[in-house]
Amino acid sequence: MTGTIEVVILGGGSAGEAIWEACDGPLSITVVEERRVGGECPYVACMPSKAMLHAAAEARGSNDRRAAYRAATERRDRIAEQRDDTHAARHLTRSGATLVRGRGVIVEPGAVAVGDHAIGYEHLVIATGSTAVAPHIPGLDDVSFWTSEDALSCDALPASLLIVGGGAVGCELAQMFGRFGCQVTLVEVSERLMAHEEPFIGELLAGVLQSEGVEVRCGVPIAAAHSSGGGAMLELQDGAALSAERILVATGRAACVRDIGLETLGIEPDPDGIALDDRCRVVGQSNVWAAGDVTGVAPFTHTATYQGRVVAANLAGNHARADYRAIPRCVFTDPVVAAVGMTQADARTRGLSVATASMDVDGTARALTDDMHVGRLELVMDRDRHVLVGAAAIGPHAEEWLAEATLAIRAEVPVSVLADVVHPFPSFSEMYEPPMRDLRQLTLR
């Protein structure tokens, strides 16, 4: 490769960071960022939420939970660098990339404009991320509601909170605020929490939250929202009326694809985001790439970083291809939810003949020593190929011991080998052994 290749990245979040850190040599990189370098994760999402969950666990025994909350928000803001991206921006420029502040818009093939400033490119990477979206609830627009970003950057601890959405964000924030003494009601229109995971996940997690005082309402649509006595109210279609000081909406996110000039290149994103090939190149384009939440593929920080590395490798002249079979999905409640690969329902929808095996946390010696008795591991095997295609867990530190299943799915390790793995005693990872032996027996029939 000779000469300088001009690369423009729209978005300086996790995907963009992976690209500018990995690229060197003849690549000249310009990053266009409208908000913060680093994206949302370090400032108003992953890092502050995990810091607050950690503090909330310690606050359960506090005699003054409001004081504990104040201390937690101070620590949260230190970890989030006061939501100031100065350090991250300096890191970017030290890597050799150029940072341009502002909103980037594609004005013609080969050119992006930031205000009156035009930037030419040979390759364009779209990494504009995603934004929180609110469901259509009559009256909600007239209520001053929180998003997760508001909840994780505000210093106020509401006395009561209505959380709309029983996915990862809703469940984490319900437990966090509840442990600081806030009266929380969690409303999910699906029949269970974490509706896209195995049924036992939502059932066990609902039991945990309820045992801590969180009211969980599943399976009832919301009819309306409105202000009420200085607070807010949700009316459910079953006739119930729920009141609280504030509403927090955690019902999902949408790819940031509007008003960035995609139509200039003939790119029409689908409802989930921008369609890619397996090299992370935008379908129908030769020099336009995309990575991160804007693609709609497994919208997690670690996915964005992975896709960024794939893009960087291809920009450098290699032929890297993305493989999404084993992207972990985690919810950092206590206990943690962790899953990877396909659910049973997904696998059957794809025509696989599957077998499952499971074990409860209570069956381990470590549960006895640590007094942790809520949790379960369930494995999904492809009967024809004798390999794992999915795993789901809820339990102490599940995000850590899920790594074994993640590697097994990604590398297609035979179940006969997995059943022969020795785990340390006493550990939660021993949960793999009985179900693996059960699955191995099925392969011998």
Give 303's Cβ-side CA count (13 Å radius): 23
Q: Under DSSP, is residue 26 helix (H, G, I), strand (E, B) or coil?
A: coil
Contact 416, 440 (CB under 8 A): yes
- Are 335 and 438 contained in the same domain? yes
Residue 68 is assigned to a structural domain of this protein: no
How sure is the predictor about 61, in pLDDT bands with cuts at 50, 70 and 90?
confident
- Are 381 and 272 contained in the same domain? no
Burial annotation 245-270 (CB, 10 A radius, 16+ → b, else e) = bbbbbbbebbbbbeebbbeebebebe
**Cα–Cα dist 420/217, whole Å:** 43
- Are 267 and 361 contained in the same domain? no
Looking at this protein, which amino acid is placed at residue 37? Answer: V
Residue 49 has pLDDT above 70, yes or no: yes
Residue 265 is assigned to a structural domain of this protein: yes
SS (H, E, C) 341-359: ECCHHHHHHCCCCEEEEEE
How sure is the predictor about 445, in pLDDT bands with cuts at 50, 70 and 90?
confident
Among 315, 344, 365, give the residue marking a domain's end: 315
Residue 349 has pLDDT above 50, yes or no: yes
Look up the CATH number of the domain holding residue 309.
3.50.50.60
How sure is the predictor about 121, in pLDDT bands with cuts at 50, 70 and 90?
very high
Q: Which domain holds residue 426?
A: 329-443
Q: Residue 132's pLDDT is what?
A: 94
Structural domains of the chain, count: 3
β-pairing, 288-290 vs 123-126, is parallel
Among 251, 276, 295, give the residue marking a domain's end: 251
Could you tell me the CA-to-CA distances from 173 to 56, 119, 182, 226 in Å, in that order?
Answer: 10, 41, 11, 22
Q: Residue 145's pLDDT is what?
A: 95
* pLDDT tens digits, 270-310: 989 999 999 999 999 999 999 999 999 999 999 999 999 99
Residue 44 has pLDDT above 60, yes or no: yes
Residue 70 has pLDDT above 70, yes or no: yes
Give 350's Cβ-side CA count (13 Å radius): 12
Mean pLDDT, residues 203-230: 95
Look up the CATH number of the domain holding residue 372.
3.30.390.30
Q: Residue 26's pLDDT is what?
A: 78
- Are 14 and 122 contained in the same domain? yes
- Give the predicted TM-score (pTM) of the model: 0.95
Could you tell me the CA-to-CA distances from 90 to 48, 65, 95, 97, 309 in Å, in that order?
Answer: 21, 37, 9, 10, 21
Average pLDDT, the chain: 96
Residue 409 is assigned to a structural domain of this protein: yes
- Are 120 and 266 contained in the same domain? yes
- Are 212 and 357 contained in the same domain? no
- Are 400 and 305 contained in the same domain? no
What's the DSSP call for residue 251?
Answer: S
Mean pLDDT, residues 211-221: 97
Residue 176 is assigned to a structural domain of this protein: yes
* pLDDT tens digits, 392-433: 999 999 999 999 999 999 999 999 999 999 999 999 999 999
* pLDDT tens digits, 143-152: 989 999 999 9
- Are 15 and 104 contained in the same domain? yes
Residue 195 is assigned to a structural domain of this protein: yes
How sure is the predictor about 3, in pLDDT bands with cuts at 50, 70 and 90?
low
How sure is the predictor about 2, in pLDDT bands with cuts at 50, 70 and 90?
very low
Residue 60 is assigned to a structural domain of this protein: no
How sure is the predictor about 4, in pLDDT bands with cuts at 50, 70 and 90?
low
- Are 167 and 21 contained in the same domain? no
Mean pLDDT, residues 143-172: 96
- Are 242 and 152 contained in the same domain? yes
Q: Residue 354's pLDDT is what?
A: 97
- Are 262 and 148 contained in the same domain? no
Q: Where are the beta strands (DSSP E) in 256-410?
A: 288-290, 329-331, 336-341, 354-360, 376-382, 387-395
Residue 242 is assigned to a structural domain of this protein: yes
Residue 1 has pLDDT above 70, yes or no: no
Looking at this protein, which amino acid is placed at residue 291? Answer: A
Among 315, 337, 361, give the residue marking a domain's end: 315
Residue 89 has pLDDT above 80, yes or no: yes
**Cα–Cα dist 28/297, whole Å:** 27
* pLDDT tens digits, 9-41: 999 999 999 999 987 677 899 999 999 999 999
**Cα–Cα dist 250/412, whole Å:** 35
Residue 78 is assigned to a structural domain of this protein: no
- Are 198 and 99 contained in the same domain? no
Residue 190 has pLDDT above 50, yes or no: yes
